[in-house]
Amino acid sequence: MSVYQRPVHLFWWLERRAYVLFVLRELSSVFVAWFVVFLLLLVNAISDGAASYQRFLDWSGQWWMVAINVLAMLFVLLHVVTWFGLAPRAMAIKVRGSRVPAKQIVAAHYLAWLVLSAAVAWLVVR
């Protein structure tokens, strides 16, 4: 029997909007990895002394570094929104026998996020 098999396009993820969003979401991981590199460079500069810390500040203040980090920030925020949004579907949490509604699980994630961010900010700029 001869059947027709639809070929898979190399850029199949352009076929639907949801697929594009999915690929962007997955690519956010590249910017997470970039952040680790950036953070380790900062740590290295701080431990090398004040002069080296100043050099790091000058380097990270260049327009193209800021541009990279703004882009990275957008991707990281996409990661946050999609991650927290999908979290309630991956976990079924029960309190006293009844399922916690998805909205509350998402809200709890954002709350934890705000608290932690505030704590980090306080520690850094104090």
By CB under 8 A, is residue 111 in contact with another protein? no
Q: How far is the CB of 72 from another protein (least distance, A)?
A: 6
Task: Write the CB contacts of 32 (distance below 8 Å, at least 6 apart in sequence).
Answer: 76, 79
Decide: is 8 part of the binding site for another protein (CB under 8 A). Answer: yes
Q: Which residues pair with 98 in a beta bridge?
A: 95
Question: Judged by CB under 8 A, does residue 64 bind another protein?
Answer: no
Residue 31: Cβ-neighbour burial (10 angstroms; 0-12, 13-18, 19+): buried
Establish if 100 lies at the interface with another protein (CB under 8 A): no
User: Does position 123 bind another protein by CB under 8 A?
Assistant: yes
* Residues 14 to 33 in contact with another protein, rule: CB under 8 A: 15-16, 18-19, 22-23, 26-27, 29-30, 32-33
The single residue among 55, 92, 96, 104 that binds another protein, judged by CB under 8 A, is: 92
Chain-centre distance for alpha carbon 98: 31
Angle at 108 between CA 77 and CA 24, to 5 degrees: 25
Distance between CA atoms of residues 69 and 63, nearest Å: 10
Q: Are 15 and 21 in contact (CB under 8 A)?
A: no
Widest distance between CA atoms in the chain: 75
Decide if residue 117 touches another protein (CB under 8 A). yes
Residues forming contacts to another protein in the complex (CB under 8 A) are 1-6, 8, 10, 12-13, 15-16, 18-19, 22-23, 26-27, 29-30, 32-33, 35-36, 38-40, 42-44, 46-47, 49-50, 53-54, 57, 60-61, 65-66, 69-70, 72-73, 76-77, 79-80, 83-84, 86, 89-92, 97-99, 109, 112-113, 116-117, 120-121, 123-126
